[in-house]
Amino acid sequence: MPWPSCITYPQAREAFQQAVAADPKCAMAHWGIAMTLFQPLWPTRPSPEALQRGWDEVQKARALQPASKRERMFIDSAEAFFLEPASTDYWLRIRRWEVATENTYAAFPQDPEAAVFYALAHLATTPSDRIDRSHADRAAAILLRVYGENPDHPGAMHYLVHANDVPGRERESLEITRKYDAAAPRNPHALHMPTHIYTRLGDWPAVIDGNLRAAEAALEHPAGEHRQYVWDEFAHAIEYLVYAYLQQGNDSKALEQLQRLRNTPSLEPSFKTAFHLASTQARYALERRDWNQATEIIARQPPGLDWDKYAWAEGIAIFAQGLGAARTGKLTQSTANVERLRTLEASMEKTGEKLFARNLHVMRLALESAIARANGQKDESVARLQEAAELEAETPKHAVTPGPTLPAYEQLGDLLLEYGEPARASWAYQKSMEFYPRRFNSLLGAARAARTSGDAAQARRYYSELLDVAGDGTRVGEMAEARRAVDGR
């Protein structure tokens, strides 16, 4: 079936509002407006005004007394989310919504929309404190059944990519991911979505291709009530581009995309925009091990964003600045950064944002390790980073990010190699690549660890893969090192 050129929450809301104007007795149009006011897999949270409006729309839908049980149950599911609009407990809303969508799916098991909405809700309630495939597996099974009956169902394909964006599922249904990649409409989120899987596979050319297209499409669809902003999907695509170019060792193209984001005016003031502004600058400095540049990162920039709502995003800048400070001997600064991370982590725990809190905790432990290293405390620095790596390995990757700011197992490999323990370093790099394959620095570190251990054959294998990933990159010294090793020199 043909797909419209752009379907996402604001555009869907406009369509439902037009339906209300055309048919004031259409209850499901009010239901649809309500459903556009929250984004269950995104890091955004509905404002108090959105919650009240959602509740009002649900009540309008109910007052129209729809005749079918199916319509009433769909309205019930939306009501479950918007109930008690003054409440600030977002996760209670999500859990109520999941129960309600499951009830609808149980009542109408052959209804594809009931199935897809339940799969979405089930993915949204994935535990934040462990890597758990059970929600992804159940959602995928439901979505595959819908897809089997309708191979052109965009929701089934889209949410299946989300279901497969977990360790161990990234190679599942690759043919559907590639089909979605080829068939997606010129909608930035749809164009971007397959690159979640390509990132997990380390397929950097595919990540770059998808996000170049997504970024351009995002610029075609302004955001905001008066179309006054550049949609935050633009920033989302740019981060994935920066990440992929850095893994290819192509620092010049990564910088080009970073500057493209910085120089784009009127970015949508959202969590995603804040996150990507902080994360891209942190990645660019840390992936290149440019500690001086990292110390110059300023948190909570630009000041026009409501940074009090974006603790994880602020924390990324704080972490990068602190790591740079620890590496350049500015320990008073890095110690202050640890305390700021601790405060941000506590604020996220208090609001129930446990996944955000866990990511902040990982960064705090890694920064504490860097301070211990600077103080000559070898055992403490290794122990802290080992703790960070184990916690990170048990923490689901949020869809907003291509991966950790700097993988903790990769950092551990660097630290152990520095301490003259290449065998342990090799193990740490391999652990890192189990989660995040074909990363430039993990491949380089693993090659150096193998070479230091005297395993020339293993070193050549890693160097050869590094050349395959980044042979056309701009890191001349590292590429020359890899070529010498592969050529046996």
- Give the model confidence (pLDDT) of 150-189 as tens digits: 999 989 999 999 999 999 999 999 999 999 998 888 889 9
Cβ atoms of 37 and 218 closer than 8 Å: no
Per DSSP, what are the bridge partners of residue 223? Answer: 229
pLDDT of 372 > 90? The answer is yes
Residues 326, 434: Cα–Cα separation, whole Å: 28
Cβ atoms of 158 and 180 closer than 8 Å: yes
The DSSP symbol for 308 reads G
CA distances for 147 relative to 2, 158, 184, 388, 401, angstroms:
16, 11, 15, 39, 27
pLDDT of 398 > 90? The answer is yes
Residues 10, 217: Cα–Cα separation, whole Å: 15
Predicted local confidence at residue 159, as pLDDT = 95
Per DSSP, what are the bridge partners of residue 230? Answer: 267
Per DSSP, what are the bridge partners of residue 229? Answer: 223
Instruction: Place 5 in a pLDDT band, splitting at 50, 70 and 90.
Output: very low
Give the rounded percent of residues in the chain with a pLDDT score beyond 70.
Answer: 98
Instruction: Place 131 in a pLDDT band, splitting at 50, 70 and 90.
Output: confident
Predicted local confidence at residue 42, as pLDDT = 86
Residues 343, 483: Cα–Cα separation, whole Å: 46
What would the two tokens of residue 238 be?
């740019």
Predicted local confidence at residue 3, as pLDDT = 35
* Alpha-carbon 464 to chain mean position: 29
Residues 192-233 have pLDDT tens digits of: 999 999 999 999 999 999 999 999 999 998 887 778 888 899
pLDDT of 7 > 60? The answer is no
Q: What are phi and psi of 330, to 5 degrees?
A: -95, 70
Residues 259-309 have pLDDT tens digits of: 999 999 999 999 999 999 999 999 999 999 999 999 999 999 999 899 999
Predicted local confidence at residue 488, as pLDDT = 83
Where helices occur in 83-228 by DSSP H, the ranges are 90-107, 112-124, 134-149, 154-164, 174-183, 188-192, 194-201, 204-219
Per DSSP, what are the bridge partners of residue 267? Answer: 230
Containing 184, the helix (H) or strand (E) segment is none
How many of the other CB atoms lie within 10 Å of CB of 169? 17
Place of tokens 């009090």: 308
Instruction: Place 146 in a pLDDT band, splitting at 50, 70 and 90.
Output: very high
Place of tokens 């305390």: 339
pTM recorded for the entire structure: 0.94
Predicted local confidence at residue 380, as pLDDT = 98
pLDDT of 133 > 50? The answer is yes
Residues 128, 441: Cα–Cα separation, whole Å: 27
What would the two tokens of residue 117 be?
């909405």
pLDDT of 242 > 50? The answer is yes
Q: Lowest mean pLDDT: which of 128-137, 218-227, 242-251, 388-397?
A: 218-227
Predicted local confidence at residue 130, as pLDDT = 84
Residues 302-354 have pLDDT tens digits of: 998 999 999 999 999 999 999 999 999 999 999 999 999 999 999 999 999 99
Residues 417-466 have pLDDT tens digits of: 999 999 999 999 999 999 999 999 999 999 999 999 999 999 999 999 99
Length of the chain: 489
